[in-house]
Amino acid sequence: MKKFLTLLVVIALVFVALASIGPMIGLALSLVLIYYATKQFIKTDSTGMKIFWAILGFIGLSIAGSNIPALAGVAAIYILYRIYTNWEKVEKEPEDPFANFEKEWNHL
Protein backbone atom coordinates (compact mmCIF):
# COMPACT_ATOMS: atom_id res chain seq x y z
CA MET A 1 0.00 0.00 0.00
CA LYS A 2 2.89 2.34 0.82
CA LYS A 3 4.45 1.83 -2.61
CA PHE A 4 1.09 2.47 -4.29
CA LEU A 5 0.67 5.79 -2.48
CA THR A 6 4.25 6.71 -3.32
CA LEU A 7 3.55 5.91 -6.96
CA LEU A 8 0.49 8.19 -6.92
CA VAL A 9 2.54 11.02 -5.38
CA VAL A 10 5.26 10.51 -8.00
CA ILE A 11 2.72 10.69 -10.83
CA ALA A 12 1.25 13.90 -9.43
CA LEU A 13 4.72 15.43 -9.03
CA VAL A 14 5.64 14.50 -12.60
CA PHE A 15 2.55 16.30 -13.87
CA VAL A 16 3.39 19.38 -11.78
CA ALA A 17 6.98 19.38 -13.07
CA LEU A 18 5.87 18.98 -16.69
CA ALA A 19 3.30 21.75 -16.35
CA SER A 20 5.97 24.07 -14.97
CA ILE A 21 8.56 23.61 -17.72
CA GLY A 22 7.61 26.84 -19.50
CA PRO A 23 7.78 29.04 -16.39
CA MET A 24 11.05 27.35 -15.37
CA ILE A 25 12.62 28.24 -18.72
CA GLY A 26 11.32 31.81 -18.43
CA LEU A 27 12.65 32.09 -14.88
CA ALA A 28 16.07 30.77 -15.91
CA LEU A 29 16.30 33.22 -18.82
CA SER A 30 15.24 36.14 -16.64
CA LEU A 31 17.81 35.21 -14.00
CA VAL A 32 20.50 35.13 -16.70
CA LEU A 33 19.33 38.56 -17.87
CA ILE A 34 19.46 39.93 -14.31
CA TYR A 35 22.94 38.47 -13.76
CA TYR A 36 24.29 39.89 -17.02
CA ALA A 37 22.71 43.32 -16.43
CA THR A 38 24.13 43.44 -12.91
CA LYS A 39 27.64 42.52 -14.08
CA GLN A 40 27.55 45.14 -16.84
CA PHE A 41 26.10 47.74 -14.46
CA ILE A 42 29.03 47.25 -12.10
CA LYS A 43 31.61 47.36 -14.94
CA THR A 44 30.48 50.51 -16.72
CA ASP A 45 31.44 54.06 -15.77
CA SER A 46 29.00 55.94 -18.00
CA THR A 47 25.83 57.27 -16.36
CA GLY A 48 23.74 56.63 -19.47
CA MET A 49 24.85 53.01 -19.69
CA LYS A 50 24.23 52.54 -15.95
CA ILE A 51 20.65 53.74 -16.50
CA PHE A 52 20.30 51.37 -19.46
CA TRP A 53 21.59 48.35 -17.51
CA ALA A 54 19.43 49.26 -14.50
CA ILE A 55 16.32 49.42 -16.69
CA LEU A 56 17.27 46.09 -18.29
CA GLY A 57 17.79 44.60 -14.83
CA PHE A 58 14.36 45.80 -13.69
CA ILE A 59 12.80 44.29 -16.82
CA GLY A 60 14.49 40.98 -15.98
CA LEU A 61 13.27 41.28 -12.39
CA SER A 62 9.68 41.80 -13.54
CA ILE A 63 9.96 38.79 -15.86
CA ALA A 64 11.30 36.73 -12.95
CA GLY A 65 8.42 37.90 -10.77
CA SER A 66 5.88 36.75 -13.31
CA ASN A 67 7.45 33.28 -13.40
CA ILE A 68 7.14 32.54 -9.69
CA PRO A 69 4.99 29.41 -10.39
CA ALA A 70 8.22 27.86 -11.69
CA LEU A 71 9.24 27.39 -8.05
CA ALA A 72 6.49 24.75 -7.74
CA GLY A 73 8.12 22.84 -10.59
CA VAL A 74 11.56 23.16 -9.03
CA ALA A 75 10.18 21.90 -5.71
CA ALA A 76 8.46 18.99 -7.49
CA ILE A 77 11.71 18.01 -9.20
CA TYR A 78 13.58 18.19 -5.88
CA ILE A 79 10.96 16.03 -4.14
CA LEU A 80 11.11 13.51 -7.00
CA TYR A 81 14.90 13.39 -6.61
CA ARG A 82 14.60 12.76 -2.85
CA ILE A 83 11.99 10.03 -3.40
CA TYR A 84 14.27 8.38 -5.98
CA THR A 85 17.30 8.41 -3.68
CA ASN A 86 15.29 7.05 -0.74
CA TRP A 87 13.73 4.40 -2.99
CA GLU A 88 17.21 3.11 -3.84
CA LYS A 89 18.12 2.91 -0.14
CA VAL A 90 14.96 0.95 0.68
CA GLU A 91 15.61 -1.54 -2.12
CA LYS A 92 19.18 -2.21 -0.91
CA GLU A 93 18.29 -2.96 2.72
CA PRO A 94 18.38 -6.66 3.68
CA GLU A 95 15.03 -8.29 4.30
CA ASP A 96 16.25 -10.52 7.14
CA PRO A 97 16.79 -8.50 10.33
CA PHE A 98 18.98 -11.26 11.79
CA ALA A 99 21.43 -11.39 8.85
CA ASN A 100 23.90 -9.08 10.58
CA PHE A 101 23.59 -11.07 13.83
CA GLU A 102 24.39 -14.33 12.04
CA LYS A 103 27.45 -12.79 10.38
CA GLU A 104 28.74 -11.60 13.76
CA TRP A 105 28.03 -14.98 15.37
CA ASN A 106 29.99 -16.79 12.63
CA HIS A 107 32.81 -14.28 13.05
CA LEU A 108 33.11 -15.17 16.76
Mean pLDDT, to the nearest integer, of 77-86? Answer: 92
pTM (2 d.p.): 0.70
Single out the residue of 73, 69, 59, 71 nearest to residue 30, CA to CA.
59
Mean pLDDT, to the nearest integer, of 42-71? Answer: 94
Mean pLDDT, to the nearest integer, of 2-31? Answer: 92
Contacts of 27 (CB under 8 A, 6+ apart): 64, 67, 68, 70, 71
Residue pair 5/61 in contact (Cβ under 8 Å)? The answer is: no
Residue pair 13/78 in contact (Cβ under 8 Å)? The answer is: no
**% of residues, the chain, pLDDT over 90:** 69
User: 79: burial class by Cβ within 10 Å (0-12, 13-18, 19+)?
Assistant: middle
